[in-house]
Amino acid sequence: MAFTTRKSLLAKIREGDEISWDEFYSAYRPLILLRGQDFALKPTEKEDLVQIVMSEIFKGSREFLYDRSKGRFRDYIKKIISNQIARILRKRINQEVPLCDNDFSQINVLEQAWREEWRAHLMKMAMSELKDYVEPATYQAFILYGLHRKTSAEAAKFLDISVNAVYIAKNRCMELLKKIISDLEAEL
């Protein structure tokens, strides 16, 4: 059971609830930017990419409802991002701006890069989900010791808990995180 009543993005996608622009934007913007980076888009093109992908997904509405009959969400969003990147690159050709080395010719490299980026995105989502599932002190101990590489003693001192409690928090969070990542892999 979730520790907070806030419904996660995953739960909304899973249950077919509407997702707001803001929530989607903050969750997916880094992924879209990273994908733009693979094609060496210029900063302004990357920002354009985020905006047009968002517009394509929301189609003028403030809410987005994913239709599962469209297949897996990861394939759906990848297709939208790829189409819009292609559109930006075509615009470059029309403007006679040379394409960079990272164009569509390196399919395998780009596929691998996408898988890495998608995994990064899932991990980010999983962290956000995890926060809702554990007590704030547990999450904080995990962040300090697990992510920020503080020693167990430093984390324990900072949070005024025992070293053993830091390890309990870390192991509890790792167990949950693995479960959430595997759920996300299956759901999205």
Partner 1 sequence: MKHYTREELDCYRNGDMNLFSRIICSEHLKFCRSCHKLLDSLKEDDALLDELRGKLDRLKQAAGEANKLNRFPENDC
Q: Which residues of the shown chain bind partner 1 in the complex (CB under 8 A)?
A: 29-31, 33-34, 37, 42-44, 46-47, 50, 116, 119-121, 123-124, 127, 146-147, 149, 151-153, 163-164, 167-168, 170-171, 174, 177-178
Nearer to partner 1, 47 or 183 (CB): 47
Q: Which residue intervals of 39-72 are DSSP H helices?
A: 43-58
Nearer to partner 1, 70 or 148 (CB): 148
Write down the least CB distance from residue 68 to partner 1, Å. 26
Nearer to partner 1, 42 or 87 (CB): 42
Nearer to partner 1, 93 or 120 (CB): 120
* CA–CA–CA angle 36, 56, 65 (5° rounding): 115
Write down the least CB distance from residue 51 to partner 1, Å. 12
Structural Rg of the chain based on CA atoms = 20
Non-local CB neighbours of 114 within 8 Å, separated by 6+ positions? 35, 38, 78
Q: What are phi and psi of 144, to 5 degrees?
A: -65, -50
Nearer to partner 1, 79 or 148 (CB): 148
| AA letter at 14 | R
Write down the least CB distance from residue 107 to partner 1, Å. 22
Write down the least CB distance from residue 67 to partner 1, Å. 27
Write down the least CB distance from residue 171 to partner 1, Å. 5
Interhelix angle for 107-133 vs 73-94, to 10°?
Answer: 130
Q: What are phi and psi of 19, to 5 degrees?
A: -115, 135
Q: What are phi and psi of 105, to 5 degrees?
A: -75, -20
Judge whether 104 and 51 are in contact, CB under 8 Å.
no
